[in-house]
Structure 1
C-alpha cells in the first residue's frame, strides 16, 4: 500500500440490474452528505474550543486590579505572584504612568486547554501624553482546577522581555516663559489661576515638554526602538517666550475679585474681547483646582435667556413691548417658579427679561420648535461646535428636549443645557456685537467653526434689554459704573438639597465677562459683586 492509498478511488464493482441500483445510488448520496457534515459543514462540527467563563472572569479581575493600582491583588491572580508584583510596580513607576486604562477584549481557547484574552492598554505618562498599545493575557488552568494568569513579561507589553526593557526620556521639562499680550511675564506665583494652565498653553504652542518611551537592551543600555513619542517638534528658539492673549491687568483684577467677593465658594470667571474673542482673563477659585472657567459643565440658568430671547426675536415671536404675563408658578409636568416666587402680572416682555421671569419665558415655549433653541445656539453663537481655544475646553451642549417639561427647563437654561463662564462670556459678546468669534488664549488656534451673524435689529434689542437689566432690573449691582454697561443675572438650580449656583454676565466697552459662583443662591447677590469688583478695578476702555 502506498502513501496515496487512503485517497485512492475505491475498486468499482459491476453494476447490477433492478431496484438495487437505485437503492445503492441513494445510499451513496446519503453517505456523501454525511461525509460533508462530518468534515466541516454540518451540525456535527464541534467548532473551535470555547473559553471557560471562569478564565474570562479571572482575566478581567487581573486587569481591574492592575488598572486600580492594586498590584498585590493583581499579582496574586498570576502563576508567579512575587515576580508579577515587582514588575507591575516598576513598570508604572519607572515610566511615570498614572491611572492606566485597561480594556478587555475577546477571549480565545486553544486545543491544549489554555486561553488568551486580548486587551488594550492606555498608559498616561505624566505631563506628556498617553501611550496606547495592544497586548494579551495567557491563562492556564491550575492543578486545583482554578484559572490563573500564566505570568510572562510579554503580557505587560509584547516587547518586554528578559533581554529588553523600557526607558522614559524627557526633554524641555522646564517649559518656556509665558507672556501676556503686552510682553509681561505670567506665572503661577504672580497669577495663581494660571499655574495649572501654563503647561497646557506651552504644550499647545509646540513649546511644551517632549519625551519618548524607548525600548533598550538590558545588557548594553542601547536604544533599539521608540515605542511612543510625545510633544511637538518646535522651531521656536528655547529662549523665546510664548505670547498669549491674556492681559496681566485683567488677570490680576479677576483673581482679586474672586478672592474678595466669592465668599470662599468654588467660583470661576472669564473676560474676553468682544471684537475678536481674545481671552483677557481666566480665573478660578480655588486657583489650583479644576479649571471651571473653561472646562466646567453647568446649567447656565437665566443668563441663557439671552439665547432664548434671540430665538424668539429672530422669528418675530415676541417684541419687547408685548404683554407676556409673569405668574408666580407655572406647571409643565412639574411646577416651575420665579426666584422667591415673585410675580409681575400683565408685564411686558422687557420687564420679564429685566426681572428674569422664569414663568413668562416658559409660557413662550410653543413659539419655538423643540430643536430650535439648540439650532440658534449653534448657528449664531457657536455653542456646541468644536472650539480650538489653545487649551482643553468644554464647548457647550443644547440637546433636543425629550419632553415638554425638559423643553420648559431649556427655555430658562436648565434641564440638559450645559455651559461654563467661557461659553457665556462668548454668548454675551456675540449678543451685543452680532458676530461670533471663537475664543482663544493664544491667538494662533485655527477657527473651524461656522456661524451666521445676528440681524442688526436683534442685536439692538438685546443690547437695550441688557442695559435695562442694569438700570432697572436684577443686575443693579453694576448701576453705578460709568458707561453703557449691560448685564444679565442667572440662578441655576442644582438639586433640591443643594443651594443654587449664581451667574452673572456683563459687557462694557469691548469686553464681555461671565462669572459663576457655586452654591451662590442667586446671581445678583453672589456673582454680581465679583463682576462689579472686576469692572471697578479696570478702567473703562482697557482692553
Structure 2
C-alpha cells in the first residue's frame, strides 16, 4: 500500500502481568533475570528431554515480562530464533506502535501455553484498543539445552506467517467496498475465502473506485521467492478514509454455496465461472494454510484432463466420440504400466464416449504411440488458453501447465498425471470452453476497469465442442458422475478425476461439471475419487444457481 507513518511511541508500557492460571502476579524485574537471561548469575543446569512444568512456567513468565516492557532484544533471548524474534518484536512496538501491552496466560497443556493479549494501537494523539489470543510452545534448546520459546511469528499475532511484519501505514490505496454482480456487499466476515482476494482488489483498484486512503494497522507480507508480495492485510483503521465501491463479477448466491460446500471437506477448493462470458461467479477455499488453491493451486488434475485429451484425439483425427477407444485391463508405454480403477471391467470394443464416461485410463494411454509430445501442449494452449501465462483475471492466478516432455510423461499427461498441473480455475475454464466451443479468459472484475487485454485462444470447432458436450453429458447421466449429478435439471455435463500423489494415502479428488450457463471445478487434496468429495462440492454450487 503506502508509506509508513512516522509517529511518536507512547510511553507508559505496562510493567506487570495480569493473573493467569498457575502464574499469579510477579515482579517484572525478577522475572527478567530468572531464566537464563542476562541477569542470571549461575550457569544453567544441562538437561535433556522436553522442558518440565516449572521450566515452561518460568520461561513463559520471563518472555512475557520482557515483551510487556517493550524490551524486544531481551524477550528474544528467551526464544530459539532470537534474531527473527527481535526483528518482529521491535516492529511490534516501533512500527506498529502497539503499547500498554498486558498478557494473561492461560493454563499450560504440556509445553504449550495459551494466552490473551490486550493493548493499544496509537497514531498521534489517537489510540484504539486491540485484543487477541495466541499461544506458544516451550522447547529444549538444541545446543544450549535451555528451555526456550519455540519461535514463530504467530506467537506475536496469530495471523502472522514467516516473513510478515506489523506496521502502521498511511494508505495509498483507499478501502473498497466490493459488491457482487447484483450490488450485494461482499465481506471477509461473511465470505472468508474472499479475504485475500478483497485485499488484492483493494491494492489494484482502490484508486479507481472513488475512495480516499486513511491510516491503518496492517500485516505487511513478504514474498520469500523474491516476487511480488501479497497485498497488505488491514487489521485496524485508525484514521478513516473514504471507501470506494468496486463491482465484481462474483455472485453472492454462488459464493455462499461454495463457502458452505468446501467447509465439509478439508483442503478443498472450488471455482465457478459463467461460460458465456468468462465471468468468475465464486471462489472458495477450505484450507488450514490459508492458501488460495482455487486460483493459484498447481496440482495434477487427474482424469478431468481427459476433456483436453479427448479434444486432442478428435482434432488430430485419431478417433471420434463414437469411434474406437478400447479399454484393456492395463496398458504399458515405455516400460511404465498404467491401470484402471479397481473393479473396472475391460472392454476391447469401447468407443471414446464410453471410455470417457467410465474414465478408462488405459483407453487414453493406448493412444500415446500416436500422439506427438507437443500435441497435448498445443491443444491446451491454442484451443483452451491453458499454460501460456497470459491470463489477466484481475487478481493473481495460475494459468495451468501442460509441458511437452516426451518419454513416459506423454502417456501420463493424457490422463492428467506426470507434469500436467492445473487449478480449479483452470479446469472450470476448460469445462466452459468445452461447453461453448469458445475460450473466454476468466475475469473477476471487468476488463474495462483498467483496460486489461484478455488472453485469447482459437477455441474448438463446432464438431469437437458438440462431441465433448455429448461425452460429458453421458458421464453426468450414466457414467462416473451419475450419482453426484442426479437430480440436476437443465443442460448438464461432468467429468470425474482422481490424481495419485506419492506422499498421500488417498488420491486427490477432482470434479468438474456444468449446468446451463454455470461451470464449476473443485479439488480436495487426499479426498479419494472424484465423487467422494469434490463432486458433491461442484454439485452444490451448480444447484445453487437455479
CA deviation map 1:446-496 (0-9, x unaligned): 134231131111111111110011111001021321112111111111116
Q: Distance in 2 between matches of 1:313 and 1:85?
A: 59
Alpha-carbon distance change, 86 to 322 in structure 1, aligned in 2, over 3 angstroms: closer
Higher-Rg member (1/2) = 1
Matched, 1:443 2:446: yes
State the match for 2:51 in structure 1. none
2:368 to 365, 368, 379: 365
For the aligned residue pairs, the C-alpha RMSD in angstroms reads 3.2
Partner of 2:171: 171
Any unmatched runs of 5+ in structure 1?
Answer: 1-69, 76-81, 97-166, 213-229, 232-236
Distance in 2, matches of 1:285 and 1:395, equals: 21
Q: Confirm or deny: 8 A CA contact 1:328 1:341 kept in the other structure.
A: no
**Is the partner of 1:197 in helix, strand or coil?**
helix
In structure 1, the partner of 2:55 is none
Of 384, 405, 409 in structure 2, the residue corresponding to residue 406 of structure 1 is 409
Secondary structure, aligned partner of 1:524: coil
Give the TM-score taking structure 2 as reference length: 0.62
Going from structure 1 to structure 2, the CA distance change for 1:198 and 1:84 (only over 3 Å counts) comes to closer
The equivalent residue for 2:62 is none
Q: Contact 2:212 / 2:244 at 8 angstroms: preserved in 1?
A: no
Determine if contact 2:214/2:242 at 8 Å carries over to the other structure. no
User: Counterpart of 2:316?
Assistant: 315
Q: Deviation at 1:341?
A: 5.1
Matched, 1:458 2:458: no
Match of 1:473 in 2: 479
> Does structure 1 residue 191 correspond to structure 2 residue 191?
yes
Paired with 2:352 and 2:262, the residues of 1 have a C-alpha distance of 33
Q: Which residue of 2 aligns with 1:203?
A: 203
Structure 1 distance, partners of 2:190, 2:516, is: 27
Distance in 2 of aligned mates of 1:193 and 1:180: 14
Structure 2 gap ranges (5+): 1-71, 97-166, 216-230, 233-240
SS of the residue aligned with 1:268? strand
Partner of 2:534: 527
Q: What residue is the counterpart of 2:397 in the other structure?
A: 393
Q: Distance in 1 between matches of 2:88 and 2:271?
A: 43
Residue pair 1:193, 1:287 contacting (<8 A) in 2 also: no
Task: Answer whether contact 1:370 1:407 (CA < 8 A) is retained.
Answer: yes
Task: State the distance in 2 between where 1:320 and 1:287 align.
Answer: 41
Aligned to 1:516, which of 519, 523, 527? 523
| CA-to-aligned-CA distance 1:291-350 (integer Å, 9 cap, x gap) | 110011110110000001111111211012222221121122222111115233321111
Query: What is residue 47 of structure 1 aligned with on the other side?
Result: none
Contact 2:520/2:542 (8 A) holds in 1 = no
The structure in which a higher percent of residues are helix is: 1
CA contact (8 A) 2:339 2:362 kept: yes
Pairs within 5 Å for 1:61-460: 90=90, 94=94, 169-171=169-171, 175-207=175-207, 238-259=242-263, 262=264, 264-286=265-287, 289-332=290-333, 333-340=335-342, 342=344, 343-385=346-388, 386-403=390-407, 405-444=408-447, 446-460=452-466
Where does residue 498 of structure 1 map in the other structure?
505
Give the count of matched residue pairs: 369
Q: CA deviation at 1:513?
A: 0.6
Deviation at 1:240, TM superposition (A): 2.8
- The residue aligned with 1:65 is none
